[in-house]
A = this chain, B = another copy of it.
Amino acid sequence: MEILVYRSSERKITEGVPVEQLPELLQDQSAVIWVDMESPTEADEQVLLDVFNFHPLTVEDCRENRHYPKVEEFPGYIYFIVHGVTSDTSPDRFNTIELDGFLGSNYVITYHHASFRSIHNVRQLLRTSPIACQRGPAFLLHQILDQVVDYYSPVLDDFDDRIDQLEHEIFTLKQPNNAILAQIMDLKRSVLRLRRISTKQMDILLRMSRGEFDLIPDEMRPFYRDVYDHLVRVVDLSESYRDLISGSLEAYLSVVSNRMNEIMKVLTIFSAIMLPLTFIAGVYGMNFDNMPELRSRYGYYGTLGVMFVVAVGMLIFFWRRGWLGRGDRETPEG
């Protein structure tokens, strides 16, 4: 448990405040207290119950790790859950890490089960410009949320690249491929999860930015609205990614179907040329006594000529049907 205090009278930040000073500090309405709990012990959790008097259910919610983003108002404080993206998130596997927290009149509490990049960044920021705390805990919370949401941007760019790459793979596909299909499905799953999480997060920020909570003063609302706008963009892009991935699946199926067409055409062309020729050969392989052609001097060469004409005729027939090109190999825009 890391306790960090900013006193407006001193205009500087004190880190590593011992937990025993908390009750006294909370009396000081001019202070801004930030308690960050990373993988807290039971003793730490007891502080939440005893010193801050939070509702036991919220502390239990913190401990569990399977909740969706939400915000709830209690007398004297707000309890929220948001999700940050983990550093190992990829378009194929979208992972989030839960950040629980409380906002009171003079404190912000953050609670997470593992190291959290955004929290770390904000602490660094405060060390260099403690003045940011001057605007109160709601502004401090805004900065944390802003950092959390900022980490969604590179993930969105990754999705963009991944979908582009996937489409390229599909259109240059040599043969149907279960691996590509599995990739499409992984991507779809990730995007659906991204959309679900970010939609819920957007709802929370909407509620925070429209003045529903007294603990977030009116002059802070544009800042929360700014975070909200970023999430609108995340949700919107995730929806367009979903459409693109659906399109990729359709494209994949269609490309596979075109390939089937090509296979069938090859089979048909071979059969249609070879079968008649083999038939002709078969005719003159018959052992009838009375087959004048067999005795003719140029019968053999004439037959070869007929075979040649038949083969060329077939090729012309297929060429006129447009079957001899390899249109399905044409890459778009190339």
Cβ–Cβ contact A181 & B288, under 8 A = no
For the complex, is A260 an interface residue (Cβ under 8 Å from B)?
Answer: yes
The stretch from A16-24, A101-109, A115-123, A322-330 touching chain B is A322-330
Cβ–Cβ contact A259 & B261, under 8 A = yes
Partner pick for A261 among B176, B179, B193, B333, CB 8 A cutoff: B176
Q: How far is the CB of A322 from chain B (nearest CB, A)?
A: 4
Cβ–Cβ contact B267 & A272, under 8 A = yes
The stretch from A3-11, A27-35, A133-141, A220-228 touching chain B is A220-228
Cβ–Cβ contact A286 & B303, under 8 A = yes
Q: How far is the CB of A298 from chain B (nearest CB, A)?
A: 7
Q: How many residues of A contact B (CB 8 A)?
A: 100
Q: How far is the CB of A83 from chain B (nearest CB, A)?
A: 13
Which residues from chain B contact A249 at a C-beta distance below 8 Å?
Answer: 250
Q: How far is the CB of A124 from chain B (nearest CB, A)?
A: 21
Cβ–Cβ contact A278 & B270, under 8 A = no
For the complex, is A67 an interface residue (Cβ under 8 Å from B)?
Answer: yes
In the bound assembly, the distance between CA atoms of A171 and B331 in angstroms comes to 20
Q: Which residue of B lies closest to A70 (CB)?
A: B229
Chain A 267-297 interface mask (CB, 8 Å, partner B; 1/0): 1101110111111011111111111011111
For the complex, is A189 an interface residue (Cβ under 8 Å from B)?
Answer: yes
For the complex, is A300 an interface residue (Cβ under 8 Å from B)?
Answer: yes
User: Which chain A residues have a beta carbon within 8 Å of chain B's beta carbons?
Assistant: 55, 57-58, 61, 66-68, 70, 72, 74, 167, 171, 174-179, 181-183, 185, 188-189, 192-193, 196, 222-223, 225-226, 229, 232-233, 236, 240, 243-244, 247, 249-261, 263-268, 270-272, 274-279, 281-291, 293-300, 303-304, 307, 321-323, 325, 327-333
Given contacts A57-B225, A286-B287, 18 further A-B contacts (CB under 8 A): A55-B222, A58-B222, A174-B327, A175-B323, A179-B330, A185-B247, A185-B250, A254-B256, A257-B257, A263-B323, A264-B267, A268-B270, A274-B278, A277-B279, A286-B300, A288-B296, A289-B294, A290-B299
Q: What would be 9 A-B contacts, judged by CB atoms less than 8 Å apart?
A: A57-B226, A176-B328, A181-B332, A185-B251, A260-B264, A267-B268, A274-B278, A286-B287, A287-B294
